[in-house]
Chain A
Amino acid sequence: MNHGQHEAAPQSVQKRHELELAGPFIAVLTVLAVISFILPLRPETSVREKRRLREFPTFTVGSLLSGEYFDSIGMWFSDTFPGREGMLEVSDRMNAMHGLNRNEVVLSQTGSAQDDNANLDALLEQAEKEASEREAAVTPTPKPVQEPEPSATPVVDQNTVVEAWEGMNGEEEAAIYGDMVVIDGTVLSRLGFDQSTSDQHVALMNRAGDALAAQGRRFFNLPVPTSISILLSSDMLAELGAADQGKTLRYMFAQENENVGKVNAFNNLLAHNSEYLYFNTDHHWTALGAYYAYQSFCETAGFEAVPLSDFTEWNMGTFTGSWYYSVNSRSLKTDEVIALVPPGNDHIHMEILGYPDYTSVIVDETEADSNMKYNCFIAGDNPLTVITNDALPDAPDCLVIKDSFGNPFTVYLTQHYHKVYVLDYRKNFTPVSTLAEQYGAEDVILVQSIGVSQTRQALPLLENLMK
């Protein structure tokens, strides 16, 4: 045996030993690589993130040369990786190990309404001073409602085509609330005050109020406070840099004219803030929160609110809100959606453009995915919904313009109106005055989160609507 053979033997042994040790890793890498190329295993939607996952990009020469095509393939590959939901769960658990997680902060680049908190007090003082100087600064006494003609049941024309803006859907709406904190197991959005958007919103409200008053209709503006301002103390709000939404409301109402019915639900919600008014894992309010706003609406509109005890609770089960996955906090309290079925529900039926199968204002979502439970209220966000209460043939009709906060609120209106036309302004671009005239609605009610009203994205939508 020569010298070369002496060296070769240990070398080959070491090579074999190395290959044996590397074998498991190579096997795992190979298996995952093969799995990643089995296209049917790639998910198309994410339940956790409530979104459609990326699609394989379309080839263009331009995108190829710019590098965008290959980048998009890379993102598609990662976004739709087989088993992603389970992997995200593991990732969440790893993230939870980063710290103590007693409370949470999720800072976002999307929040836009953080500009003018420091000026809010001064602006409010000035606005209220000017309002008091105007003779008609108080909310007018509601005008007597005209006796309506009992109308033949209008059926939603399922062939109607509405122009919808695709820029912000229900899922994306959650993203506009910006920074989030988790306090005592509840996610709260750190919403601020934006003078510019507030002023633009006021101008739109005044314009809508004037236009509808000219048609002999009443217009009500119900800005929905978000949870942070109802659940936290003023000191805590200041420390978090969040606006006092009670002041935001007063600032806006002080500038709105007499043709706008100002529904201030803030104080009533605040008075009940120890109750389950807002979800812990979602930006929405509960049916109970919406009920207290309904009481405030009745006070402004001259109706007598139906007592809470007249409604029947229907528990849809555990709810996982849109913020649950945004904060990935193990400390979050659980939620459940409890709908309040209105008295006389048998006489109330609902028609939805595009979805003729839904018939009841409270939809059975007990078997739905936990993140879909909020859809139990008027079947979620739709371009146009018509609710008829056959038990009130002589009652007036109303048109509700709403974002998703309006869904549970709308249910209560069935107790005072014969027909409730519901328009989601993110999905239907038909101007309000046109619709109100077309349907003969005596009252027009805007139900919109203060968070959305402070957001620049929503203004063009409202502007279009108020034409």
Chain B
Amino acid sequence: MVFSSLIFIYAFLPLSLLCYMLCGSLKAKNISLLVFSLIFYAWGEPKYVLLLMLMAAVDWFCALRIDIGESAGERKLWLALAVFVDLLLIGVFKYAGLVCSIFGEVPAFVQRIALPIGISFYTFQLLTYVVDVYRGDAGAERAYWHVLLYAALFHQCVAGPIVRYNSIAEELFVQRSGAEELTDGIRRFTCGLAKKALLANPCGALVDAILLTDQTASSSQLFAENLSHLQSVTVLGTWLGMAAFMLQIYLDFSAYSDMAIGMGKVLGLHYPENFRYPYAAKSVTEFWRRWHMSLSTFFRDYVYIPLGGNRCSLLRNVLNTFIVWALTGLWHGASWNFVLWGLYWFVFLMIERLFLKKLLQRVPVLPHLYLVLIVFLGWILFRFTDIRLGWTVVKGLFGLNGNAASDFLSVTMLENNVFLLLVSAIACTPLPKAVSDRLAVNGVWAGCRKALFPIVLLLLSTCALVGESYNPFLYFQF
């Protein structure tokens, strides 16, 4: 189930909220949340809900042992066990195929392993829990279902943000505010829903129409046809398709985070911000401080710094950075293009660290253009799991496939989506929020923004979502 589905909006969400509100105590509310979270997860993956429960059980048990461990060695042993089990399970379910492909053909039984929804998100959340307990930053939970609720909470279980245990534990189990931020939460949820249904989905449909659907592009059997198709796309079409993808991926992913944060606020839970207008950045370094912030900070605090961070030799620091970005790439998908995508960022971060960042600070507009171009090209690596197809698209951008500059189809598609792309691009900037905040000084507008605006967005999104229209979620399987 995705948040941007009618069954979630009009069946699951109202029922879960109703049950939540009917519960009196915090414990009862949490039990209600847990039940609905497990139903939410089981809706898409009935079998893998057991895996989620198993991983939560392992981490709950290990954290308890860490908490009562008498020696540093014993505590470290239990931490190592928890980390090992978590990484083993994510390794088997997500990366077995990739590992086997290194040594030859992927066995049939490995090919049959389906990727459990959200495994990358909840595994990382559980890792933060055991590590925080080990570091003494959080106490170990005595109740197993508390750990399970933390990992399975449907707001963020399958698509983030990655919420650290110590940042949410108090609100989750000790004291939760009431309805003080109810309208903020509703507004955030509906903004996310509209971003997804009204902007990201049409952008995605445009991408698929021009540059193949994900499913088609990933099919090795269709490689020759896909290659031929991509070679024939005009220069204008290629730029248009990739620009639409660049908008789609941000709007799609940030929309999901908006919806998660909004639902959290409605219940008095505060999840970390995951995006801060990344396309408005002026360097790659800044971009990654604004893009998927909960993942970046996870890698910083749980991988980069433990490896030594920058308090070590230059060579070691470069190695640490390399490891972090290779893992970042790998986290996004079990395919070599994702690893290359991670290392692509590593290269630019290194270049910026060496000299480019200082250079960029001296000129006014160029940094933005540089960032947008680098991100744009990076998304090609991300979009095509077959690197040969990605390379064909890169060549297509510059007419190196023998492709025409434009044709009737690409010109028509540009004309017919020009306003969509414009509005989507504006939605990627702080401008809409700035304008809305400014207008909110006026009491009437402030009231409309809270009371009327969410209703309009909800109804328009419902119209766009009815009838099974294009509604993928790009980060769903990460």
One of B42, B46, B190, B415 near A102 (C-beta < 8 A): B415
One of A28, A77, A91, A236 near B458 (C-beta < 8 A): A28
- Given A75-B468, A87-B466, A109-B216, answer yes or no on A99-B451 (Cβ-Cβ < 8 Å): no
Counting CB contacts under 8 A, is A24 at the interface? yes
- Given A18-B183, A78-B5, answer yes or no on A90-B460 (Cβ-Cβ < 8 Å): yes
Counting CB contacts under 8 A, is A9 at the interface? no
* Shortest distance from the beta carbon of A236 to any chain B beta carbon, whole Å: 7
The reply to whether A78 and B6 form a contact with Cβ atoms under 8 Å apart is yes
One of B47, B213, B460 near A109 (C-beta < 8 A): B213
- CB closest chain-A residue, reference B180: A14
Not counting A36-B6, A99-B417, A100-B418, a sample of 16 additional A-B residue pairs whose C-beta atoms are within 8 angstroms of each other reads A29-B10, A32-B462, A33-B11, A49-B467, A65-B47, A67-B46, A70-B42, A70-B44, A78-B465, A79-B467, A81-B6, A81-B462, A81-B467, A94-B198, A98-B417, A99-B418
The reply to whether A99 and B464 form a contact with Cβ atoms under 8 Å apart is no
Counting CB contacts under 8 A, is A19 at the interface? yes
Within 8 A of A (CB), among B409-433: 409, 412-420
The reply to whether A98 and B420 form a contact with Cβ atoms under 8 Å apart is yes
Counting CB contacts under 8 A, is A73 at the interface? yes
Q: How far is the CA of A18 from the CA of B11 in the complex (A)?
A: 23
One of B7, B13, B455 near A74 (C-beta < 8 A): B7
9 A-B contact pairs sorted by A residue (CB < 8 Å): A21-B450, A24-B455, A28-B455, A33-B10, A36-B11, A70-B1, A71-B44, A107-B409, A239-B407
**Which of B198, B213, B413, B467 is most buried by chain A, counting CB atoms within 10 A of its CB?**
B467
Contacts of A98 in B (CB 8 A): 202, 416-420
Counting CB contacts under 8 A, is A11 at the interface? yes
* Shortest distance from the beta carbon of B404 to any chain A beta carbon, whole Å: 9
One of B178, B415, B450, B458 near A29 (C-beta < 8 A): B458
Counting CB contacts under 8 A, is A240 at the interface? yes
Q: How far is the CA of A440 from the CA of B454 in the complex (A)?
A: 70
Within 8 A of B (CB), among A224-248: 236, 239-241
> 3 closest Cβ contacts across the A-B interface?
A99-B416, A98-B420, A107-B209
Within 8 A of B (CB), among A11-34: 11, 14-15, 18-19, 21-25, 28-30, 32-33
The reply to whether A181 and B408 form a contact with Cβ atoms under 8 Å apart is yes
* Shortest distance from the beta carbon of A76 to any chain B beta carbon, whole Å: 9
The reply to whether A88 and B455 form a contact with Cβ atoms under 8 Å apart is no
Interface size counted on chain A using CB atoms at 8 A = 57
Q: How far is the CA of A296 from the CA of B179 in the complex (A)?
A: 77
Counting CB contacts under 8 A, is B267 at the interface? no
The reply to whether A18 and B179 form a contact with Cβ atoms under 8 Å apart is yes
The reply to whether B14 and A99 form a contact with Cβ atoms under 8 Å apart is no
The reply to whether A29 and B14 form a contact with Cβ atoms under 8 Å apart is yes
**Which of B11, B42, B216, B416 is most buried by chain A, counting CB atoms within 10 A of its CB?**
B416
The reply to whether B451 and A25 form a contact with Cβ atoms under 8 Å apart is yes
Q: How far is the CA of A88 from the CA of B468 in the complex (A)?
A: 11
Counting CB contacts under 8 A, is B372 at the interface? no
The reply to whether A78 and B467 form a contact with Cβ atoms under 8 Å apart is yes
Interface size counted on chain B using CB atoms at 8 A = 59
One of A28, A109, A236 near B459 (C-beta < 8 A): A28
The reply to whether B468 and A78 form a contact with Cβ atoms under 8 Å apart is yes
Counting CB contacts under 8 A, is B210 at the interface? yes
Contacts of A77 in B (CB 8 A): 5-7, 10-11
Counting CB contacts under 8 A, is B182 at the interface? yes
* Shortest distance from the beta carbon of A118 to any chain B beta carbon, whole Å: 10
The reply to whether A18 and B458 form a contact with Cβ atoms under 8 Å apart is no
The reply to whether A87 and B11 form a contact with Cβ atoms under 8 Å apart is no
Counting CB contacts under 8 A, is B55 at the interface? no
Q: How far is the CA of A216 from the CA of B439 in the complex (A)?
A: 85
The reply to whether B466 and A18 form a contact with Cβ atoms under 8 Å apart is no
- Given A21-B451, A33-B10, A79-B467, answer yes or no on A99-B419 (Cβ-Cβ < 8 Å): yes
Contacts of A36 in B (CB 8 A): 6, 10-11
Question: What does the 1/0 interface line of B464-477 toward A look like (CB < 8 Å)?
Answer: 11111100000000
Contacts of B452 in A (CB 8 A): 24
- CB closest chain-A residue, reference B185: A22
Chain B interface residues (CB < 8 Å from chain A): 1, 5-7, 9-11, 13-14, 42-47, 178-183, 186, 190, 198, 202, 209-210, 213, 216, 232, 407-409, 412-420, 447, 450-452, 454-455, 458-460, 462-469
Q: How far is the CA of A74 from the CA of B465 in the complex (A)?
A: 12
**Which of A19, A25, A109, A181 is most buried by chain B, counting CB atoms within 10 A of its CB?**
A25
The reply to whether B408 and A22 form a contact with Cβ atoms under 8 Å apart is no
* Shortest distance from the beta carbon of A417 to any chain B beta carbon, whole Å: 44
Question: What does the 1/0 interface line of A93-112 toward B look like (CB < 8 Å)?
Answer: 01101111111110101000
- Given A15-B180, A36-B6, answer yes or no on A78-B466 (Cβ-Cβ < 8 Å): yes
One of B202, B408, B464 near A236 (C-beta < 8 A): B408
Counting CB contacts under 8 A, is A84 at the interface? yes
Contacts of A54 in B (CB 8 A): 468
Q: How far is the CA of A25 from the CA of B14 in the complex (A)?
A: 12
Counting CB contacts under 8 A, is A64 at the interface? yes
Q: How far is the CA of A77 from the CA of B450 in the complex (A)?
A: 29
- CB closest chain-A residue, reference B209: A107
* Shortest distance from the beta carbon of B113 to any chain A beta carbon, whole Å: 14
Q: How far is the CA of A324 from the CA of B408 in the complex (A)?
A: 21
* Shortest distance from the beta carbon of B424 to any chain A beta carbon, whole Å: 10
Contacts of B416 in A (CB 8 A): 98-101, 103-105
The reply to whether A105 and B420 form a contact with Cβ atoms under 8 Å apart is no
- CB closest chain-A residue, reference B190: A25
The reply to whether B469 and A91 form a contact with Cβ atoms under 8 Å apart is yes
* Shortest distance from the beta carbon of B443 to any chain A beta carbon, whole Å: 12
Contacts of A24 in B (CB 8 A): 451-452, 455
- Given A36-B11, A74-B5, answer yes or no on A88-B412 (Cβ-Cβ < 8 Å): no
The reply to whether A81 and B466 form a contact with Cβ atoms under 8 Å apart is yes
The reply to whether A19 and B407 form a contact with Cβ atoms under 8 Å apart is no
The reply to whether A240 and B463 form a contact with Cβ atoms under 8 Å apart is no
- CB closest chain-A residue, reference B266: A22
- CB closest chain-B residue, reference A54: B468
Contacts of B180 in A (CB 8 A): 11, 14-15, 18
The reply to whether A65 and B46 form a contact with Cβ atoms under 8 Å apart is yes
* Shortest distance from the beta carbon of A124 to any chain B beta carbon, whole Å: 21
Contacts of B202 in A (CB 8 A): 95, 98
Q: How far is the CA of A98 from the CA of B202 in the complex (A)?
A: 9
- CB closest chain-A residue, reference B471: A78
Contacts of A18 in B (CB 8 A): 179-183
* Shortest distance from the beta carbon of A72 to any chain B beta carbon, whole Å: 11
The reply to whether B418 and A87 form a contact with Cβ atoms under 8 Å apart is no
* Shortest distance from the beta carbon of B468 to any chain A beta carbon, whole Å: 5
Contacts of A11 in B (CB 8 A): 180
* Shortest distance from the beta carbon of B160 to any chain A beta carbon, whole Å: 21
* Shortest distance from the beta carbon of B415 to any chain A beta carbon, whole Å: 5
Q: How far is the CA of A450 from the CA of B265 in the complex (A)?
A: 59
Q: How far is the CA of A160 from the CA of B7 in the complex (A)?
A: 45
The reply to whether A25 and B455 form a contact with Cβ atoms under 8 Å apart is yes
The reply to whether B412 and A103 form a contact with Cβ atoms under 8 Å apart is yes
- CB closest chain-B residue, reference A77: B7
One of B47, B181, B464 near A91 (C-beta < 8 A): B464
The reply to whether B186 and A22 form a contact with Cβ atoms under 8 Å apart is yes
- Given A25-B186, A81-B6, answer yes or no on A88-B415 (Cβ-Cβ < 8 Å): no
- CB closest chain-A residue, reference B206: A98
Q: How far is the CA of A228 from the CA of B67 in the complex (A)?
A: 74
Contacts of B198 in A (CB 8 A): 94
Contacts of A239 in B (CB 8 A): 407-408
The reply to whether B409 and A181 form a contact with Cβ atoms under 8 Å apart is yes
Within 8 A of B (CB), among A155-202: 179, 181
One of A15, A28, A81, A97 near B179 (C-beta < 8 A): A15
Contacts of A29 in B (CB 8 A): 9-10, 13-14, 458
One of B7, B46, B412 near A181 (C-beta < 8 A): B412
The reply to whether A15 and B415 form a contact with Cβ atoms under 8 Å apart is no
- CB closest chain-B residue, reference A76: B7
Q: How far is the CA of A30 from the CA of B18 in the complex (A)?
A: 10
